[in-house]
Copies of this chain bind each other. A is one copy, B any other.
Amino acid sequence: MTDRIVNFLKSVRPDGPCLVVDTEVVRDNYLRFQRAMPDSRIFYAVKANPAPQILALLAELGSSFDCASVQEIDMALAAGATAERISFGNTIKRERDVAAAHARGIALFAVDCEAEVDKVARAAPGAKVFCRILCDGEGAEWALSKKFGCEPQMAIEVLEHAHAAGLVAYGVSFHVGSQQKNPRAWDGALASAADIFRTLSYRGIELKMVNLGGGFATRYLEDIPGEGEYGRAINEAIRSHFGNRLPATIIEPGRGMVGNAGVIKTEVILVSQKAKDDIRWVYLDVGKFNGLAETMDEAIRYPIRSSREGEAVPCVLAGPTCDSVDVMYERTPYPLPINLEIGDELLIGGTGAYTTTYASVAFNGFPPLASYVI
């Protein structure tokens, strides 16, 4: 919660809930990633927050962009990125979207099976492809499902298939899970990647690149490793598995780039109890459907600031819609001041990533979350 954000809210006083993102924090995060991993190219995961001002700042700083769709590719291009600095990182693409990306000059694509390679070979001949491998995600706050990637053994065949289809078999990618708090989590996947590099090298195919994915944690309530710690642990793992034949590497921070740059301003709509002496329920004008989708299963616990200084008592925290799943914290209630009142303003920190675009179009008639980038 930077002074710039607090001052913006004081002077503009926007009506209704909103997210405010401080670009100074984004700039700082970018420079830290660069210092921590000077040999890696940074591909910002656009999906985390595609606000045009954020993309323009990062393009100016020299960032590349990891895009999930043609729409995101167009946003990155509009922000000033060249096609060479854009990766179509979604392993699930319609063939006509691959063709649209190819027409825009994009030449780097993610795949995780032969059928996807065939689409790229037909719609973007000659492009570079990297194959995503599965990774167990231990240590991550949001361990990923098996949705993306294949077993390392199959990746070898997928990349050979790409080579045979006239594509550039370029490398291997993986993702250690979102909000990964163990800097050593990259080690196992890097061992698998090095195996794939060696096996394909025996077969005459020289891979060039390892995409280390994202997963870099942002600070919510607990302490997290600094970018430097991630950098050191990852570099050690690369050296131990690849020896002297170091691959080019890229990283795809999303949450780590913008998470701590944003604050959501919200209003208390109701404080009530279900029965006498029962737990307090606090209802806000933001909830799961207009910004706080990532409180799903109470996975992420955002820091919340009130100007009241009363004793903190446990509260159930819920959103404004008529939907019973629109409850943020109930299993583990959230401590809030006992003198909190209807109409009070609260600031929810660490909300720069995965808030605005996750918001629903108009659920219950409520508008999506407003956003200001300053």
> Which B residues touch A46, using CB under 8 A?
365
The one of B94, B272, B323 that contacts A112, using a Cβ cutoff of 8 Å: B272
The verdict on A361 contacting B365 (CB below 8 Å), with A154-B276, A274-B134 known, is: no
Contacts A154-B276, A269-B93, A272-B116 given: A147-B318 contact, CB under 8 Å?
A: yes
This chain: copies in complex: 2
| Beta-carbon contact of B342 and A325 below 8 Å | no
B362 and A92: CB pair below 8 A? no
List which A284-305 residues lie within 8 A (CB) of chain B.
Answer: 285, 289, 293, 296
- The CA of A151 and the CA of B178, in the complex, are separated in Å by 40
In the complex, identify which listed stretch (A30-38, A70-78, A197-205, A233-241) lies at the interface while the others stay far away.
A70-78
Q: How far is the CA of A359 from the CA of B272 in the complex (A)?
A: 30
Interface string of A347-374 (1 = CB under 8 A from B): 0000000001111111111111000000
Q: For the complex, what is the distance from the CA of A74 to the CA of B119, rounded to whole Å?
A: 47
In the bound complex, how far is the Cα of B362 from the Cα of A320, in angstroms?
A: 21
A148 to B150, CA, bound (A): 44
For residue A271, CB closer than 8 A to chain B, the reply is yes
> Beyond A115-B271, A322-B68, is A363–B357 a contact (Cβ under 8 Å)?
yes
A251-275 contacts to B, CB under 8 A, are 267, 269-275
Are A274 and B365 in contact, with the CB atoms below 8 A? Answer: no
Q: Is the CB of B147 within 8 A of A326?
A: yes
Quick check: is A219 within 8 A (CB to CB) of the other chain?
no
Check A145 for interface membership: any CB of B closer than 8 A: yes
Are A324 and B145 closer than 8 Å at their CB atoms? yes
Q: In the bound complex, what is the Cα–Cα distance between A89 and B365 (angstroms)?
A: 13
Interface residue A330 (Cβ < 8 Å from any Cβ of B): yes
Grouping DSSP codes into helix (H, G, I), strand (E, B) and loop, the A interface class, with mixed when no group exceeds half, is: loop
Most buried by B among A47, A293, A324: A324
| A interface with B by C-beta (< 8 Å) | 46-47, 50, 67-72, 75, 89-95, 112-113, 115-116, 119, 134, 142, 144-151, 153-154, 178, 267, 269-276, 278, 281, 283, 285, 289, 293, 296, 318, 320-327, 330, 342-343, 356-368
**Bound state CA distance, A133 and B364, in angstroms?**
21
B364 with A47: CB separation less than 8 A:
yes
Minimal Cβ-Cβ distance residue in B for A326: B147
Q: Please report the C-alpha to C-alpha distance between residue A97 and residue B323 in the assembled complex, in whole angstroms.
A: 18
Residue of B nearest to A113 (CB): B272
Identify A145's interface contact among B146, B325, B356, B357, CB under 8 A.
B325
Please state if A269 and B94 are interface contacts (CB–CB under 8 Å).
yes
Within the assembled complex, what's the spacing in Å between the Cα atoms of A162 and B116?
63
> In the bound complex, how far is the Cα of B197 from the Cα of A48, in angstroms?
52
Whether the pair B68, A321 counts as a contact (CB closer than 8 A) is yes
28 pairs across A/B with beta carbons < 8 Å? Answer: A47-B321, A47-B323, A47-B364, A69-B364, A71-B365, A72-B364, A72-B365, A89-B322, A90-B320, A90-B322, A92-B269, A95-B342, A95-B343, A115-B271, A116-B270, A116-B272, A142-B325, A145-B325, A147-B326, A147-B327, A148-B322, A151-B274, A154-B274, A154-B276, A357-B361, A357-B364, A359-B361, A361-B368
Ranked 9 nearest A-B pairs via Cβ = A71-B365, A113-B272, A69-B365, A144-B324, A72-B365, A68-B364, A151-B275, A68-B322, A145-B324
